[in-house]
Every structure is written in structure tokens, then in C-alpha cells.
Amino acid sequence: MPEGSESSPSHSGRDQREALEEKLNVLDPTSSPLRQGQRSSDKEGFWCCLRSLHSSNRAEEFFRPKNRPVSPHTHLKTEELKPPLIFRPEEIQFVVITGLSGSGKGSALKTFEDLGYYCIDNLPIDLIPLFAELCVSSGAEFHQTAMVVDVREGTALRRFPKIYGQLRSMGVSTRLFFLEAATPILVRRYSETRRPHPLTARQAVSQSIAIERKKLRPIRALADAVIDTTTFTVHELRRTIMERFTEQKQHRPLHINTLSFGFRYGVPPMSDLVFDVRFLPNPNFVASYRERTGNDARVRRYVLSFKQTREFLNRLSDLLKFLIPQYVSEGKSYLTIAVGCTGGRHRSVVVANQLDQLFKALHYRTTLEHRDISQGGK
């Protein structure tokens, strides 16, 4: 399975450390251990900073995503900053992705990001229990987290089994996935990407892989599932993860946007599927319905009263029930289905509403938009 860069994470450990250091320096240039020449022990210094922030109830500020608005209470006393407990420990979901380099950990992490998880790559393992504690205390932003742990941790990796045990003892819902592949396949992937193996010094890639297998053996024994990606494509790995994790979710991992429109104003350019319902009887020719829209119950009953409308919806429903799972299996995350009539105010609105109800009943995430419903008469 060809894979993107394993070290191109959504949130790299290095980026997190640099961002934290920058914020610390802005607040107090003299207070940051990283500022005071402790770079020889980078992870330890970062851990000390974070522990200090946690003790003063300020860590949530530094872990806040960029798009999250700053609280108006930012400058209150530290004892007033502590957020309420939103999630119990057992409601916090931690997924640890580990395994051999080149086995697909980066692709797996991106899949979890699409599932709505907060994703971290290569966070120093000594910070994991502390971060879990922060997730419980601050709750809202980090109740679902996926993180990659691998040989880039260096000698600290030996401590992971103990740290993983601490996670479980906290009562946090934790799952560990171990990804691997046959050595010849991993060697080929490294040859195709032309990237060095994390353990490669002067030995061949195959030797580095053998050393890595040995180092990861104790962690592999802890895994809830071992996934062999030897024969997987990127899409097959994504589908495997989706199947394992969406069975516990209320909604399936596809967002369907149903859009009604009027051909008079043009076909929506971003549509994946377009259905023309101008063959249905037109309420515009009924005087009492002309100024109403397809959201009106009387117009809806009128459009659905015709046999051809009901048969069309039945046949279209069968088609979509077949098509949509095929899109899901290929890894599609968004699907826009456009329904058009002449002016986009009556027939297309009724049919789009019916389809949106169907998709909700099938537990897909949905949005509904009537683009031209406010335009002139049909």
C-alpha cells in the first residue's frame, strides 16, 4: 500500500513543542524551561512546562485549537479558569496507533481525523497520561483522541507498556492498534517514497525493519488488534478502520448534502449526482400553489399524490441505497446530490426533502439546502 509521509502528521510533536514554547515566551520570556537552555532534555522540559500549566489550570488554553474562540474569561484568576467536568473518564476515547514504519500509520491517523478525532503524531510518551488527565478535566475538545506512537520515541519507547497501563488504570476507554506488513513490501514502499527509515544509519532498510520489529514486540503483545497491511491499498486500510470504529457510532462516515435547485439558474457546479424532476406534474400551474413552496404541506401532498412521483422515489431510493455504500467503500467523505426542476421552488424541494429523510433513516450525516427556493415563481 503506497503511503504518504509517516512524519507529515496533523499535529506533530515538534510543532506542539514549538507552539507551546512560543506561547510561554510571550507570557513570560524568563519562565519557560525551554527558554532557559534546557534543549538538551527537550521532552523533559516540555513535560515540565505542561505539568506546570496543568497545576495552574492553564493547560486548556495552550491546547485550544486555533479555530476555537478565546474565552472572555481568559484573564480571570487561575482558580476561576478551571472548566467543568464534561466527560467521565470512561467517556474519553483514546486510540493508540503503532506499528512498523511504512505500514500505514500516517494514513490511519488521517482516517481518524476524518472520523472527528483529535489527532497527534509522536507526542512524547511521558505526556500521554497527563494529556489524558487534561482530556478528562477540560473535556469538550479532546474526548476522542488518536495518536501515533512508534520508534521515533527512541529509548523512551521502553516505558510505553507501563504508561499504557496507567491509561487503562485511569478508566479511560483505550484501544491499541498495531500495523505491520511483510518486510519485502515495507522495503518496496521505502524505495518508492525515497524516504529514510527512522532507524537507518548505515545498515540496509531490511536490517532496520528487523531491529524495529524486535523493539516493538512488547507493544505488539498489548494490541487490541493487529492489522497486516501487506496487501492493502490506502482505501482498503481506510475502509478497515471505518468498519471497526463506525459500528459504534450513530452516524456513518459519509456526509450527504442534498441540494434542490432550478435549472433556470444553472446546475450546481459541485454536484456529484444530479437528478432532473421536471417530468413530474408542476404545482406552478395550480393557482393556489403558485406562490407556495415545496416546504408547504399542501404542495408536498400534491406532488406526492401522483403515481409517477411515488414510483420515481421508490426507484431512486433503491438506486441510492446501492450507490452510496460503494462511495463509502472507496473512501469518499462527502457526497452532494442535487435535485432540479424548472425554478427550484416546488418539485425539487419536495423530492430533496424526501431524500434527506431517507438518508437520515440510514444514519448518514446530512445537510439540506434549497438553493433557489427564494427566487421568482416557477
Provide the pLDDT for residue 204.
83
Reading the block at residue 170, the C-alpha cell is: 485511569
Query: What pLDDT is attached to residue 224?
Result: 86
Distance of CA 219 to the CA centre of its chain: 25
In terms of DSSP H, where are the helices of 36-127? 42-55, 59-63, 78-81, 105-114
Residue 3 reports pLDDT greater than 80: no
Angstrom distance (rounded) from CA 295 to CA 374: 12
pLDDT at 39 over 70: no
Which one is predicted more confidently, 85 or 186? Answer: 186
Number of neighbouring beta carbons within 10 Å of residue 14: 13
In the chain, at which residue ranges do the beta strands (DSSP E only) sit?
93-99, 118-121, 144-148, 173-180, 225-228, 252-262, 273-276, 334-341, 364-370
Q: Calculate mean pLDDT across residues 360-378.
A: 84
pLDDT digits (tens, 9 = 90+) for 235-269: 888 888 877 776 544 455 688 999 999 999 999 98
What pLDDT is attached to residue 317? 93
- Residue 350: pLDDT band (50, 70, 90) is very high
Instruction: Return the pLDDT at 28.
Output: 42
Domains and their CATH numbers in the chain: 13-246 (3.40.50.300), 252-370 (no CATH)
pLDDT, residue 143, reads: 74
pLDDT of residue 15: 58
SS3 346: coil
Neighbour count for residue 203 (Cβ, 10 Å): 12
Q: Taking residues 354-378, report their average pLDDT.
A: 86
Extract the runs of DSSP E, i.e. beta strands, from 204-348. 225-228, 252-262, 273-276, 334-341
**pLDDT (tens digit per residue) in 277-320:** 999 999 999 999 999 999 999 999 999 999 999 999 999 999 99
Confidence of residue 140 (pLDDT cuts 50, 70, 90): low
pLDDT digits (tens, 9 = 90+) for 48-105: 555 555 444 444 444 444 444 444 444 434 344 444 444 566 667 889 999 998 888 9
Alpha-carbon gap, residue 22 to 152, rounded angstroms:
24
pLDDT of residue 171: 77
Predicted confidence at residue 370, as pLDDT, reads: 94
Specify whether the CB–CB gap between 282 and 346 falls below 8 A: yes
Please, are residues 50 and 61 in contact by the beta-carbon 8 Å criterion?
no
d(CA 63, CA 21): 12
Predicted pLDDT at 346: 95
pTM: 0.51
Residues 345-371, mean pLDDT to the nearest whole number: 92
191-197 mean pLDDT: 78
Q: What's the pLDDT at 246?
A: 61
Kind plus residue range of the DSSP H or E element containing 15: helix 13-27
Q: What percent of the chain has pLDDT over 90?
A: 30
